[in-house]
Amino acid sequence: MTTTTIGIDIGSGAVKTVLFRQDGNKTEWLAKRVERIRQRDPQELALTGYSEVLEEARLKPADVQYTATTGEGENVKFATGHFYSMTTHARGAIYLCPPARAVVDVGALNGRAIFIDERGKVLASKMTSQCASGSGQFLENIARYLGVAIEEIGPLSQSSQNPEKPSSICAVLAETDVINMVSRGIATQDILKGIHLSMASRLAKLLKVTGITQGTVLLTGGLALDTGLLAALQEELVNEKITGIEAVNNPDSICAGAIGAALWGAFRYEKLRQLEHRAAT
């Protein structure tokens, strides 16, 4: 039986929408949309993404068996059901990177480490505090202050020879540290690398707390494709003596939560269908 599902992940910085079709053991990814929020209404962006993936796949709403939301999407009126974001990122990570045994989700407001098994089941997790300067929004604010485009952050950071870390984990105080660094003439690339190392240090410690000691870690969320952060995390894993772990990303890492929502939606739909069939017989 063919099951078509849509997954919508409303985060603090972007709304991600994906459309999947499953037929037995075959899973086909048909369409995706990523819309930055930038002071726009996330609910409207969710509806826009929903409409656009249907249009791309040349389908109608009636062709979709389950529309699943995650993140901040529990109030999407046209959704069938909602899933906790930790479970959706875990399932999406396994889809994108089957060897993954942990997820580091770095979003606009916080970061978290999730220890998972080969099925995407969450075994343990740990999240940064709300105040920590280890978030996408903090990094974007610093880049804006430094006059650096988002796509330049990673390459600049990797060119650093003398990184300088902010002294505080509080975002407000860390921004003050950066202002002082600029006034002292610290090079932009050294500031960015220092911030990346500071963020990566906290993420590595979160991974350590979850209990994972070996395997592949997939970066997800808005900062997953930041090559500077990925490189810094690899360094900090060595510093934390977690030498059996390899940190990687995927071009579609930002969609991990939406992917997981769509796949869990298909699973839930099939279970409900089986229950209805048993009740009818």
* pLDDT score, position 141: 83
> What confidence score (pLDDT) does residue 278 get?
78
pLDDT of 248 over the 60 cut: yes
Average pLDDT of the chain, as a whole number = 90
Contact 6, 255 (CB under 8 A): no
Identify the pLDDT of residue 1: 78
Domain residues of the chain, as ranges? 2-90+255-280, 98-249
Rounded to two decimals, what is the model's pTM?
0.91
pLDDT at 134: 57
Residue 143's pLDDT is 87
Same fold, 2-90+255-280 and 98-249: yes
Supply the pLDDT for residue 172. 67
Mean pLDDT, residues 5-14: 94
Q: Per-residue pLDDT tens for 107-138?
A: 767 788 999 999 999 999 988 765 555 567 77
Give the type of residue at 241: K
**Residue range 38-50, pLDDT digits in tens:** 889 999 999 999 9
Identify the pLDDT of residue 129. 67
2 forms beta bridges with: 23
Residue 9 pLDDT exceeds 90 = yes
Q: What percentage of residues in the chain have a pLDDT greater than 70?
A: 95
pLDDT reading at 167 higher than 70: yes
Q: What pLDDT does 130 receive?
A: 56
Does the domain formed by 2-90+255-280 have CATH 3.30.980.20?
A: no
> What distance in Å separates the CA atoms of residue 114 and residue 238, rounded to the nearest whole number?
19
Could you say which architecture CATH assigns to the domain 98-249?
Answer: 2-Layer Sandwich (3.30)
